[in-house]
Amino acid sequence: MPNTPTNFWRKAYVQAQAVVIEYGRFVLIPVIGKQLPITDNRLPMNQPALLALEDGATWPGLAFGAMGTTTGEIVFNTSLTGYQEILTDPSYHGQIVTMTQPHIGNTGCNLADDESGRVWAAGFVVRSLSPVVSNWRATKSLPDYLAERGVVGITEVDTRALVRHIRTYGAMRAVLSSEMTDAAELVAVARAARDMNGLDLVREVTCVEPYHWTEAADWWQPGSGKSAQLAVSSEQWATDAASASSERHHVVAYDFGIKRNMLRLLAGKGCRITVVPATTPAADVLAMNPDGVFLSNGPGDPAACTYAVTAVRELLGQKPIFGICLGHQILGLALGASTYKLKFGHRGGNQPVQVVAHGRVQISSHNHGFAVDALTLPDGALNSHINLNDNCCEGIDAPGYRAFSVQYHPESSPGPHDSDELFDKFVDLMGDGRAQTN
């Protein structure tokens, strides 16, 4: 083999794989790779694992991450990158996530990319776990990251066939185990797992008490000088609020399972943010006299969150409202519309959505298994965005209430940034409301 640059890297990769096979460890790639610390409790590379669905289908593979057995709704995500953000998105609570991208783990993991304080996905399914980590930001390999957090993973699964199965028969209950091997026993476990219909998971992911957020949207920019501060004390926040410009908007954000990048983008628009638990009554929010109310993403069946629907219904017309994902569904229910469960949902960073007002198409990031029935929207509430894959409702605009929402994730993380303008729309609504008050 000639010693060309291409062949050099091919040989280096083969050598790295050989070390992995022999020692079961992630290794240094010459020049561009990095040696990462090894977790002591990593599973052996030939540890079998089994994924079983409630309809009796089973999918064998090899285990990685933590040893254990976990149940959840089996779903798939079509994103090419961003597996760490997906794993830490609270909207995935109670779900076993299958990645359609075949090679996962090559960029490793780092704390800065977490979208919450923990991994919420119940389990992780991939076609081919990368034997090598090569990224300058990586501080840990994906297997070690999951092992330390008690999350079960499986690789060497025929994910193309699995995804076709989910698309044909729908999302369903499943079990993933690296310690049980009896297929019939695991199918029985899957059938006994919780059903997503009627399931209120928001209470399991929301914050326990209110807190204040300050980290802004330019957190990823080199040399921005922004600290990685995630929250501040009430005293410090009050000091900052008193010294802030009178034009700075105060936003109360309902935490139904909120992602950090939503808060970063709001802070980047100059907003002061108070995050409150999902069960916070409308009266408590109004007592804070915010300029606007934000309704976050979250897991589970929106119709089960009756406390949130009641609160939002009481807030309609009182303050500008902006909802995302589950927040969009809760706004729809508060307006009088109904919701329904999709066959296999929308999950990925490449979904085409048409903006009805001007007809342009935006590529968007999605993660939802339920949707608002556009035919049940009342007068004065418009279906503002349409999914071009299945024509489901992707947005609501209720100008009479100064409220709007989108089903997808304009904050991305991961995903495209086609819809960043929605945060500007919310800020403009709050500015108009303040002008009318003055």
The answer, yes or no, to whether the previous bond of 414 is cis (omega within 30 of 0) is yes
Are 175 and 189 contacting, i.e. CB atoms less than 8 angstroms apart?
A: yes
Mean pLDDT of the chain: 86
Residue in the block written with tokens 């289908």:
57
Please tell me which residue in 73, 115, 215, 411 is annotated as part of the active site. 411
Class of domain 35-191: alpha beta
Architecture of domain 202-437: 3-Layer(aba) Sandwich (3.40)
Q: How far is CA 147 from the centre of its chain?
A: 20
The DSSP secondary-structure symbol of 217 reads: G
pLDDT digits 0-9 by tens, 220-243:
444 443 433 444 444 454 445 444
| Rounded average pLDDT over 172-179 | 97
> Where does residue 60 rank: exposed (0-12), middle (13-18), buried (19+ CB within 10 A)?
middle
pLDDT 10s digits, 382-411: 999 999 999 999 999 999 999 999 999 998
Q: Is 218 exposed, middle or buried (0-12, 13-18, 19+ CB in 10 A)?
A: middle
Q: What share of the chain is helix, strand, coil (3-state, %, to 5)?
A: 30, 25, 40
Entry pTM: 0.86
Strand partners, 97: 75, 124
Query: 152: number of CA atoms within 13 Å, CB side?
Result: 25
Phi and psi at residue 201, to the nearest 5°: -100, -10
Arithmetic mean of pLDDT, 281-285: 98
Which candidate, 81, 82, 72, places its Cα nearest to that of 154? 72
Helix (H, G, I), strand (E, B) or coil at 289: coil
409 catalytic per annotation: yes
pLDDT tens profile 133-148? 999 999 999 999 999 9
- Residue 81 neighbours by CB distance under 10 Å: 14
CA distance 327 to 308: 9
Q: Which 8-state DSSP code applies to residue 227?
A: -
Looking at residues 152-167, what average pLDDT do you find? Answer: 97
Nearest Cα neighbor of 42 from 17, 23, 59 is 23
Catalytic residue among 109, 325, 392, 393: 325
Residue 232, Cβ neighbours under 10 Å: how many? 16
Sequence ranges of the domains in the chain: 35-191, 202-437
Closest CA to 108 of 129, 123, 122: 129
Specify whether the CB–CB gap between 183 and 174 falls below 8 A: no
